[in-house]
Chains A and B, each alone.
Chain A
Amino acid sequence: MKVSFAITTLLLLLAFSGASARANHQTSPPKHIGSVHSGFNNEGLCADPSNSVLSWTTALSHIEGALWTESRPFDDTWDSQSWDPNALNWRVYFFELGGGNCDWLDATQRSAVDIEYWLWDNTNGGGCISPSSCVNNWTGPYNGGLGHTEYTKVRVNLYAPYTVGTSGQTNYYRHQVNHETGHVLGLADGDGTCPDSVMHSMAYRCSQDRSWPSTNYDVATEVAIAGQ
């Protein structure tokens, strides 16, 4: 009897929370950085390692490495679509902005940053549960009648030992950076299914931690979000 009551309650909770598997793999309701819709507003980023032992140069090189420099010719990156001269989706294009630690940028430069990547020796300081990484501090909301909310700025908190490979699997930072960046772009965490996706990682009972976003699933979802 207790079991059936528990099942009933669970079913009701699921029904009311809308926690069913989502085939389109987007955050529900949609939540992402607004610049994904724009072909002229690129994704300016900065790196801030001041809460870790890392240097700014080391931190930035790993973030850039995960996002584009180590994946040439850009066939497996979030902004791979931007290199198609015939495509209309020059929408996601990461670049470093300011030439220094986020907190050292002047006010004008910092206001222009879309994504701040903060590195932590203990990510509890960034509001995560160390050693996990997380995305938070979504600011600059606008709704614009879209039926969902977008943000002009967001902070990604990365666990520094993963970022430079002193902990975790070899080159795990690529997965870490691209998984969290997936959230920035509007993709959700794994949901119990295991498509070929950087979001559906071992933490979500899948068999791999992809280094790069997959073209057919992750990038396709990102392009779909950008087109909405």
Chain B
Amino acid sequence: MRLLNYALPVLATLAVAITYGMPQAAAIDLNSGLLVTTRARLEVCVSALPGSGMSTGDARMLVNDAVTALRNHPRYESSGYANAPASVVAGCPSAPALLDSGQKHEINGGPAQIFTVTSPSDSRTFVFVVAPDDISRMFGNAPYPMSAQESICSGRDCVEVTTAMYISATATSDSAQLRDRLAKGIGLEAAPPQVEPKPTR
């Protein structure tokens, strides 16, 4: 009974805090395709970089069409994306991390790695339309050039919560290819293995 006397006030305090709101910190949410608790909807941002051969406005329209088509994807709803209308916005809130770092691919550096943030952006996926040469330099011939754009750390465990897609203007203009790339970029599908030599032992 004494235990109950203390449990009830604590529960009540929690209920009040939940009802009236506390500052919301970003927490990793592995149950949802949105990846963090601070995202209420699927948002994709689009930036076409100088030299890519496409304007951000044109790229946004094409990506918007692809995202709209992906609403029919069999995993769209179960990924938590159907809870609110998706949004595709022109301009991304940060520059392409991998491109700016000059790195070949991800996983470089330690805890102060280039991708770590404490407040992830609202966009689940950044679409960067870039020159084909930049894609080759960063990803070689990998069929799905993607990288972490933002990671958040819980203790010593750091996980990607925002994906950056690097795509050429040509691929962006190909609706089937763009849809396929976006399905991977927003986490509806896994990117298939890129190089699988037959292992021998």
Contact B6–A4 (Cβ < 8 Å): yes
Q: Is there an interface contact between A29 and B6, defined as CB atoms closer than 8 Å?
A: no
Query: Contact between A137 and B142 (Cβ–Cβ < 8 Å)?
Result: no
State the CA gap A107–B104 with chains docked (Å). Answer: 6
Known A139-B106, A148-B30; contact A8-B113, beta-carbon cutoff 8 A: no
The answer to whether residues A139 and B151 also contact, given A112-B142, A149-B35, A153-B106 and a CB cut-off of 8 A, is: yes
Q: Is the interface of A mostly helix, strand, loop or mixed?
A: mixed
Q: Is B22 interfacial (CB 8 A cutoff)? A: no
Tell me whether B160 and A138 are in contact (CB under 8 A): yes
A107 near B187 with CB under 8 A, answer no
B side interface size, CB within 8 A: 62
In the complex, are the beta carbons of B201 and A136 less than 8 A apart? no
Q: Which of B46-54, B57-65, B76-84, B167-175 contacts A (4 or more CB under 8 A)?
A: B76-84
Q: A4-B2, A5-B6, A143-B79 are contacts. A108–B158 as well, Cβ < 8 Å?
A: no
Residue A68 at the chain B interface, CB threshold 8 Å: yes
Q: Are B7 and A11 in contact (CB under 8 A)?
A: yes
B161-199 CB mask vs A (1 if < 8 Å, else 0) is 101000000000000000000001001111111111101
A201 interfacial contact with B, CB 8 Å: no
A120 to B196, CA, bound (A): 28
How near does chain A come to B102, taking the closest CB pair, in angstroms? 12
**Taking the complex as formed, is A41 at the interface, i.e. its CB lies under 8 A from any CB of chain B?**
yes
Number of A-B residue pairs, CB cutoff 8 Å, is: 175
Q: Is the CB of A141 within 8 A of B160?
A: yes
Tell yes or no: A203 within 8 A of B by CB.
no
A117 to chain B, nearest CB (A): 11
| Complex interface: chain B residues within 8 A of A135 (CB) | 157
Given A42-B196, A42-B199, A144-B188 in contact, is the A108-B140 Cβ separation under 8 Å? yes
- Is A18 among interface residues, defined by CB-CB distance under 8 A? no
A136 touches B189 (CB 8 A): no
Tell whether, in the assembled complex, residue A142 and residue B110 are in contact, meaning their CB atoms are under 8 Å apart: no
**Of A30-38, A172-180, A217-225, which binds chain B?**
A30-38
**Of A53-61, A126-134, A192-200, A207-215, which stretch is located at the interface?**
A126-134
A12 contacts the other chain (Cβ, under 8 Å)? yes
* Interface pair A107/B11, CB less than 8 Å apart: no
Contact status of A143 and B104, CB under 8 A, knowing A11-B7, A112-B193, A149-B35: no
> What is A's interface to B at a CB cutoff of 8 Å?
4-5, 7-9, 11-12, 29-31, 34-35, 38, 40-42, 44, 68-69, 93, 95, 97, 102-103, 105-112, 116, 124-129, 134-153, 155
Given contacts A31-B159, A145-B76, 19 further A-B contacts (CB under 8 A): A4-B2, A4-B6, A11-B7, A41-B193, A68-B201, A95-B201, A102-B107, A105-B104, A107-B142, A111-B139, A111-B194, A136-B159, A141-B163, A142-B184, A142-B188, A143-B32, A144-B189, A145-B74, A145-B75
User: What are 8 A-B pairs with beta-carbon distances under 8 A?
Assistant: A5-B6, A97-B195, A105-B104, A111-B140, A126-B110, A139-B148, A143-B80, A148-B30
